[in-house]
């Protein structure tokens, strides 16, 4: 599996940086965001280092499908019952801060309001 030794999320996958894990299997890791926008805010990341959505190819379709189907299950398990938001920032102009593909799943009362 491809990893970038300088990538924050690759270090989390490798166990070099701790995280509050919600889910893990051979392909995907999900954990709580350290700067949550809402009562429940998790990140789903592929264990394979993919910098952004721009770098996806047909070979990643099953992985992205898995993440997309997993998000609602995890939000339900975390007690989110009235809807949630999923978000994938892509590239610098898209607001991506960590260049390892990740999906935000954000739930709770009006999670898009930050203050």
Q: How far apart are the first and last CA of the chain?
A: 40
| Superfamily of domain covering 8-107 | HIT-like (3.30.428.10)
- 63-75 burial, b at 16+ Cβ within 10 Å, e below that, comes to bbeebeebbeebb
Residue 110, pLDDT > 70, answer: no
Of the pLDDT bands very low, low, confident and very high (cuts 50, 70, 90), residue 108 is confident
What's the chain's length in residues? 115
pLDDT at 115: 57
Domain layout of the chain by residue ranges: 8-107
pLDDT at 114: 57
Of the pLDDT bands very low, low, confident and very high (cuts 50, 70, 90), residue 91 is very high
102 counts as catalytic = yes
pLDDT in tens, 21-62: 999 999 999 999 999 999 999 999 999 999 999 999 999 999
pLDDT at 113: 63
Residue pair 64/82 in contact (Cβ under 8 Å)? The answer is no
Q: Can you give the pTM of this predicted structure?
A: 0.92
- Can you read off the two tokens belonging to residue 63? 């992985």
> Which of the following is catalytic: 41, 49, 102, 104?
102
Residue 109, pLDDT > 80, answer: no
Residue 2, pLDDT > 90, answer: no
Residue 112, pLDDT > 70, answer: no
Above pLDDT 70, what percent of the chain? 93
């Amino acid at each position: 599996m491809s990893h970038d030794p300088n990538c924050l999320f690759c270090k989390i996958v490798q166990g070099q940086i701790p995280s509050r894990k919600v889910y893990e299997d051979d392909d995907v890791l999900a954990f709580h965001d350290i700067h949550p926008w809402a009562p429940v805010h998790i990140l789903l990341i592929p264990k394979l280092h993919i910098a952004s959505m721009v770098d996806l190819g047909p070979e990643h379709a099953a992985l992205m499908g898995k993440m997309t189907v997993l998000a609602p299950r995890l939000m339900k398990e975390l007690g989110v019952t009235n809807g949630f938001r999923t978000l994938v920032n892509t590239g610098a102009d898209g607001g991506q801060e960590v260049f390892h593909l990740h999906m935000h799943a954000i739930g709770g009362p009006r999670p898009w309001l930050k203050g």
